[in-house]
Amino acid sequence: MENAINRQFYLHQRPAGMPSTSDVRRRDAAIPRPRDGEVLIRNRYFSLDPAIRGWMSDTPSYLPPIPLGQAITSTTLGDVVQSRHPDCREGDVVYGLNAWEDFSAAPGSYLMKVPPENRFPLHYYLSVFGAVGMTSYFGILEAGKPRPGETVLISAAAGAVGSVAGQIAKILGCRVVGLAGTDAKCRWITDDLGFDAAINYRDCGPLTEAIAGACPEGVDVYFDNVGGAILDAALMNLKDHARIVFCGAISGYNAAEPVPGPYNWWQILARSVTVQGFLVSNHVAQFPQGVARMSEWVAAGRIRFQEQIVDGFENTLAAFLTLFDGTNTGKLIVRVVPD
């Protein structure tokens, strides 16, 4: 590590709209020195998540905004190369909230360890066994709570969260309908993942009618990753006592102006709907049980998923932007260090 440098992407200015290379810049920084209770991590992979866009803004949220001048906050997975925490050792593979940089210093108590007996590729701990997979798992099981035979509608259904959420709802015996932005994504979730129906929301005519056609008895659980016009169309198709899992609102993450709507909010009252704001960080203590069950499903081929692994630190920002035009296919990860 003597001559190693610490490449970083950092926040130079808050983006208005899609982040650009003027907002998020590259620099070479010093390798941080871990303090008491911290470890130094050499990051192998970055998890690119839509939420990072929110942390670049200074609107109130569940995490403080990224301060200007600081490396971009991101979940990463890497090796402990120095430890000043009693429970972490050099060589442990850990994941947690760090930053888009080669080396991160982080409190050992905030990090999760990949179990030494792990038999899966390490990057699964940023996808199906990480916060994303746990969002699908706890979002369906603890927030949506669908019963067998109920209809579950999912937006961004071919994405990292949505594709796994839909398969869990299938395991529970539900009828599952997905919304996605291309015919290829729709074919993947129906033909390969077993969704009962899919709607290409960009090419289906009026969306409210398209959802009604695919969900003729109405929707019991709407798992919303998108917000905006898709939420409005879903609201018009809810059954009495339906539940909405409000998991994300990616359609508005790059909005430069305040986002209007939802216009059909009255349906919440008219249908006695329960809306549950879902935040995966509220379930961290339950992750081991979620990962254990997900591992069984993955090993048995009952849960399938797609990862898009982009090689090279320098490609991080460009890859991140594909989340917002739908050209990403599955869980987006950057491999910083070759395997």
Chain center to CA of 157: 12
Separation CA 40–CA 90 (nearest Å): 9
Of 323, 333, 334, 336, the one binding ligand NAP by CB under 6 A: 323
Closest approach, Cβ 193 to ligand NAP, in A, equals 14
Q: Does 135 bind ligand NAP (CB under 6 A)?
A: yes
Residue whose tokens read 């048995």: 300
Q: Does 159 bind ligand NAP (CB under 6 A)?
A: yes
Separation CA 150–CA 35 (nearest Å): 52
Of 168, 226, 242, 273, the one binding ligand NAP by CB under 6 A: 226
Q: Which residues contact 285 (CB under 8 A, 6 or more apart)?
A: none
Residues 159, 163, 164, 166, Cα dihedral to 10°? 140
Q: Does 294 bind ligand NAP (CB under 6 A)?
A: no
Helices assigned H by DSSP within 199-338 = 207-214, 228-235, 266-270, 287-299, 316-321
Strand 175-180 relative to strand 151-154: parallel, antiparallel, unpaired?
Answer: parallel
The region of 38-46, 48-56, 75-83, 146-154 touching ligand NAP under the rule CB under 6 A is 48-56
Of 156, 174, 303, 317, the one binding ligand NAP by CB under 6 A: 156
Residue 270's nearest CA partner among 308, 230, 242, 309 is 242
The region of 28-36, 73-81, 116-124, 318-326 touching ligand NAP under the rule CB under 6 A is 318-326
Of 105, 132, 199, 207, the one binding ligand NAP by CB under 6 A: 132
Q: Does 108 bind ligand NAP (CB under 6 A)?
A: no
Of 31, 43, 49, 168, the one binding ligand NAP by CB under 6 A: 49
Residues that bind ligand NAP (CB under 6 A): 49-51, 131-132, 135, 156, 158-162, 180-182, 185, 225-226, 230, 247-248, 250-251, 278-280, 323-324, 326, 328
